[in-house]
Amino acid sequence: MCTSIAMKTNDFYFGRTMDIEYNFKERVVFTPRNYPITFRKGGTIKRHYAMIGMGTVIDCYPLYAEAANEKGLCIAGLNFPDNAYYPPEEAQDKTNISPFEIILWLLSQCATVAETKELLSRTNLIGIPFSKDIPLAPLHWHIADKECSITLEITKNGTKVYDNPLRVLTNNPSFDFQMVNLSQYTNLTTGCSENCFSESGIQPFGQGLGSFGLPGDYSPASRFVKAAYLNLNSACENDEQSSISQFFHMLGAVSMVRGSVITKENKYDITTYTCCINASKGIYYYNTYNNNQITAVNMNRENLNGSNLREFPLVTSQRIFWAN
């Protein structure tokens, strides 16, 4: 359960909520240009674009949940259970890449969505887990640059790359359903509602009735509609602070409060962290469920030409500014 958004003001911003019932030792991870990345079937890339994102590092390997590279290309993997399918067969005419490698594979080599599409046409996703103790997560991916956005899905029906003009993504069902589902909400407006009911002089009794019917539940389809509505109608100043504030407000509108969603295992599904990446400047902003204060890590303050990973543990304790 997650929601991702791509937004553009003066700079390009990309981020997501991580809605999950557990922690996976996540931290902000910076991968410099000269950190070798080895793929199970795709060889080793010794020099590549630098990147930053949230993930976990296992056996010196950065496993990203979402990340952006120095060129401004961004990718987030979102849960896609019962739909994601990774074939076990290798393709002879393509490079075979495991889903846990796909963010590194694309961000290491591509600067734009157009380049990503071209590389994907030469890539086959194959069902190789990271290890016997770490199975493959069922995912689909939101990929975006400052100009456009796509959704990548691999199911039993094959690989689909969808243009994503709404620049948002959630979870099930598949992206084509989400787009059709939006047709039920074409009546929504940010302005005042009109009386189409009768000519008896009925008047709206308050602001916001133009969006009456906008979903408020936590299902993926409803979060998709709400995130799309907010992103399409976002009104924001172009400066950095306004853009960051707006981005966190939009994702906050689809975030999960502890106790609102309980899994079949009787665990609380919550928004463990929310992030906003200024992909134009390489700055990763985040807050966590227990710490509303925004923390930032600037990729360009690191050695882009380095050869060692940098890991930044999350600040999870609430920070409060005392005014007296």
Residue numbers annotated as active site: 2
95: CB partners within 8 A, 6+ apart: 41, 42, 122, 123, 124
Q: Going edge to edge, which strands form the sheet with 158-163? A: 158-163, 149-155, 139-144, 74-79, 61-69, 51-58, 27-31, 310-313
Q: Which whole-number Å values give the CA distances from 278 to 117, 193, 253, in the listed order?
A: 22, 35, 20
What stretch of H or E contains 227? helix 220-232
Distance of CA 70 to the CA centre of its chain: 17
Distance of CA 209 to the CA centre of its chain: 30
CB 218 within 8 A of CB 199: no
* C-alpha torsion sign, points 221, 224, 229, 232: negative
Which amino acid belongs to residue 133? Answer: D
